Amino acid sequence: MRRLPTLLLYLLLLPLVAAAAAPPLMLAGQWRDGPDVSRYWVSEKLDGVRARWDGRTLWTRAGHRIDAPDGFTRGWPLQPLDGELWAGRGRFEQASGTVRLHPPDVDGWRNLRFMAFDLPGHAGTFDQRLAALRVLVARAASPTLGLIAQQRIADTATLHRHLAVTVAAGGEGLMLHHQDNPYRAGRSDGLLKLKPWDDAEARVVAHLPGKGKYAGMLGALLVERADGARFRIGSGFKDAQRMAPPPIGSVVTYRYNGATTNGLPRFARFLRVREELPPGNGD
């Protein structure tokens, strides 16, 4: 039997089991050099599926219940946790596809861990939440529950060197939590992301045909931003994705390097299908 291309299989997966109100998650702003880096905890930005554990159930950030297999969350804390379901660097599609399957694929879930990075129900500062989170994760001693490593960095130059090392090793970027920041739903200046490129979401409005070696396949996506601006994304696709492109109406994440004089993204490159448009248009 012929195997379906990875992206096509991904798009045909069944929807998540149930939907509810989106959990009140804290969202990251963009780091801009200037603040005192030494007052932030710095961690790797994982390329996984953002999820919230409410003490009984895992939920996506859009409010879909995640159908984890029996035993995956056994022994986890009763307190709410914020984190990422992660399969490893460069394995977002694997993680996302596994999370979306119902009933769950037990073998697929063996490759996932929930990497916690915050305690939404804790009223203290991030310093205090991190100390409490470390205790909870250690006490759980669960093979499926981990803690994203947090470290202090002395200055901006060291921060950018750390970013370069992380990206060279296959990481996506860095997250910075201000030590005094409380957990607040929505966009927060106390939670910031730093990456060597910008990224954003846009909705697919047309498939443009390829030419030359891409004849009979996708040449580019015509996409539309929330502000109505339209532009093409023609690079970043694997051959399987050109044969089974993201469907019309789906939301994709793209990378770019700044903006042109007319405000459109420079060197827009396809990154992935965004199966759920995140609240606040970003993580």
Locate 90 and state its tokens: 């460069």
| Beta strands 186-194; 26-30: pairing state | parallel
More confident residue, 9 or 173: 173
Q: Across residues 120-130, what is the average pLDDT?
A: 96
Give me the sheet containing 58-60, strands edge to edge.
Answer: 18-19, 64-66, 58-60, 49-53, 81-86, 113-118, 145-147
Q: Give me the catalytic one of 45, 193, 195, 211.
A: 45
pTM summary value: 0.76
Place of tokens 């399957």: 101
More confident residue, 16 or 124: 124
Residues of the chain with pLDDT > 70, as a percent, come to 89
More confident residue, 96 or 53: 53
Q: Are 4 and 12 in contact, with CB atoms under 8 Å apart?
A: yes
For position 133, what pLDDT does the model report?
Answer: 98
Q: Residue 106 belongs to what H/E stretch?
A: helix 106-109
Neighbour-count burial of 49, counting CB atoms closer than 10 A to its CB (0-12 exposed, 13-18 middle, 19+ buried): buried
State residue 37 phi and psi, 5-degree precision.
-60, -30
- In the three-class reduction of DSSP (H, G, I as helix; E, B as strand; rest coil), residue 166 is classed as helix
213 is annotated as an active-site residue: no
pLDDT higher than 50, residue 67: yes
Residues of the chain with pLDDT > 90, as a percent, come to 74
More confident residue, 65 or 275: 65
Q: Are 66 and 52 in contact, with CB atoms under 8 Å apart?
A: no
pLDDT higher than 80, residue 16: no
Count of other CB atoms within 10 angstroms of residue 141:
8
For the stretch 28-63, pLDDT in tens is 998 999 999 999 999 999 999 999 999 999 999 888
Query: Which contacts of 258-264 are long-range, i.e. CB under 8 A and separated by 24 or more positions?
Result: 258/198, 263/229, 264/229, 264/231
As a whole number of angstroms, the distance between CA 248 and CA 234 comes to 15
pLDDT band of 90, cuts 50, 70, 90 = confident
For the stretch 232-277, pLDDT in tens is 999 999 999 999 999 999 999 998 988 888 899 989 999 888 765 4
More confident residue, 104 or 278: 104
Q: Residue 157 belongs to what H/E stretch?
A: helix 156-168
For the stretch 180-210, pLDDT in tens is 999 998 888 899 999 988 888 999 999 999 9
CA angle 25, 30, 36 (to 5 degrees): 105
pLDDT higher than 70, residue 161: yes
